[in-house]
Amino acid sequence: MWNEADWRVVRVKDAAFPGFYRLISNHHAAEFSQLSPVAQARCLHLLLWLENLVIQHLRPTKMNLASLGNVVPHVHWHVVARFGWDSHFPSPIWAASQRVAPTEQLARIESLLPALDAVLAAGPGADAVAR
């Protein structure tokens, strides 16, 4: 989707959570604290850029940001748009499902993803994110 020397953004293909993205370091570091201060700042800028675009395009009820690396010990962030109608809300996406998500709502969000993905593929503007 989007890639630079140090970071990339990918959309996670998850039918239950169509607004699920990852910001991934292209360099191996198991912990955020192992990144240089410059890399930490870049990561946070990109995380905010990604979160703001997801909010603008999908209008979620809430955004979930998680940096979990127990299975894959590599710095990455989960950026997940959450909706009051989704199958797990308000619990985490890794919890047990609470309901069946409405097919029409999932389809509506899916229909918005190509425009969001196109904006993400263009990358952050120089004025939007400090390099």
Is there a domain that residue 127 lies in? Answer: no
Asked if residue 126 is part of any domain, the answer here is no
Half-sphere exposure in the Cβ direction for 13 (13 Å, CA) = 1
Round to whole Å and give the CA distance between 52 and 31. Answer: 24
| Boundaries of domain holding 116 | 2-120
16 domain-assigned:
yes
> What's the distance, CA 100 to chain centroid?
22
Evaluate whether residue 43 is within a structural domain. yes
Kindly state whether residue 125 falls inside one of the protein's structural domains. Answer: no
**Residue 127 confidence (pLDDT):** 46
Q: What is the pTM of this model?
A: 0.92
Give per-residue burial for 33-46: e unless 16+ CB within 10 Å, then b. eebeeebeebbebb
Task: Report the C-alpha gap between 79 and 102 in whole angstroms.
Answer: 22
State the CB neighbour count (10 A cutoff) for residue 130: 10
Q: Which CATH number do you get for residue 36? A: 3.30.428.10
**Does residue 129 form part of some domain?**
no
pLDDT tens track for 28-42: 999 999 999 999 999
Domain membership of residue 131 (yes or no) is no
In this prediction, residue 128 carries a pLDDT of 53
The helix/strand/coil state of 84 is coil
Our count of domains for the chain comes to 1
**Which of the residues in the chain have pLDDT under 50?**
126-127, 129-131
Alpha helices in 59-93 (DSSP H): none
What is the chain's alpha carbon radius of gyration, rounded to the nearest angstrom?
15
